[in-house]
Amino acid sequence: MEQWPYDGGKYGKFSDHLYGDGHKQWLYEYRTINGNHNTDRLISGATTLCSGGSTVLTASGGGTYAWSNGPTTAANTVNSANTYTVTVTNNGCTSTAQSTVTLTTVTATISGATTLCSGGSTILTASGGGTYAWSNGPTTAANTVNSANTYTVTVTNNGCTSTAQSTVTITTTTASITGATTMCVGGSTILTASGGGTYAWSDGATTASTTVNSANTYTVTVTNNGCTSTAQSTVTITTTTASISGATTMCVGGSTILTASGGGTYAWSDGATTASTTVNAANTYTVTVTNNGCTSTAQSTVTITTTTASITGATTMCFGGSTILTASGGGTYAWSDGATTASTTVNAATTYTVTVTNNGCTITAQSTVTITTTTASIAEPRRCALVAARY
């Protein structure tokens, strides 16, 4: 059998022919042989496809085609990872070729804190691709954001894309304190903070509520989702001092007004609920004063001044004479004859009145002075008869 050397799909040889005139002609003959050779060049097309995508494998070199997945055309559209085989038939000769299609899985993910404090920022980091495109502009894996929004990243790898989203919210932490800010001497008040997950008070407490018993400004730091806020409350001590003013002595049948001070509300032992109460009996009166929830008491003892006026001295006198009238029982005296001392000398028959005043109380007394009239008479002398004695 004659052997032909192989040359790139063709078998050929050179031969020479010597003509009679002495020149020689070289001839090259070749034959094309269809065979199973160089099969890796029979299928073209992308051998990687994206999730949910497809690729077209195209066979060449033949008249008819038979693909392992069914198609009988040169072009074969596939959408799953597999090894695809094509059998090419030409002039009764067959050749096979294979192409392995792989699935490129691109899964975009975003990590990073999705809550930020007012005025703060957070870093969102995407993964899963070769290139990145964020909805707010950056083209790197990491994206620093400082506003509340939904951020989308498109990840591209081997021509395949995937998207992921992350919603960033702003945590608004607002600390506030409730509770009475005034307390009584020796008392306490409860301050309660709100707005956070954890609490730190300036007095050392770490709970929402703290009980304090001294006047001060108390600060609480509230922390929520990593964000902090502070609030303050100033506590003062209410000093409630009850006092009573007003005359504590009164005359028989009189009254006096007692007035309390130092509070917002008043409660007297005699039932009065106003600052002032009018009393007309000797007693010890107590008032309870309430101010901002704090109480204080005061007492006042009321006494009755008993003023008794009396006049001593002779109430009769001789014509042209005088007598001394003396009053007692008071601090000051006022006589009807104008005298203002305890004693007054009178020389006329009349009724004298004295007004005695003692501790604001007055009483009167009277004394009637009369003149004794003495009338002198002369008796005639008796006449005596002389009787002669007889001896």
Cα separation of 360 and 249, whole Å? Answer: 9
Give the domain extent around 271.
Answer: 243-305
Asked, for residue 98, whether it belongs to a domain, the answer is yes
What's the total number of domains in the chain?
5
Asked, for residue 95, whether it belongs to a domain, the answer is yes
Q: Which of 151, 171, 191 is the last residue of a domain?
A: 171
**Are 185 and 167 members of one domain?**
no
| Structural contact between residues 219 and 201, judged by C-beta atoms closer than 8 angstroms | yes
Cα separation of 312 and 333, whole Å? Answer: 14
> Is pLDDT above 60 for 44?
yes
Asked, for residue 221, whether it belongs to a domain, the answer is yes
Q: Which of 236, 258, 281 is the last residue of a domain?
A: 236
Asked, for residue 9, whether it belongs to a domain, the answer is no
Provide the β-strand partners of residue 301: 284
Is pTM beyond 0.85 here? no
**What is the structure's pLDDT at 375?**
66
**What is the structure's pLDDT at 330?**
74
| Structural contact between residues 210 and 178, judged by C-beta atoms closer than 8 angstroms | no
> Is pLDDT above 70 for 94?
yes
- How far is C-alpha 48 from the chain's CA centre? 60
Q: What is the pLDDT of residues 192-250, one digit of tens each?
A: 999 978 999 999 999 999 999 999 999 999 998 889 999 999 999 988 899 999 999 99
Q: What is the pLDDT of residues 334-374, one digit of tens each?
A: 999 999 999 999 999 999 999 999 878 899 999 999 999 87
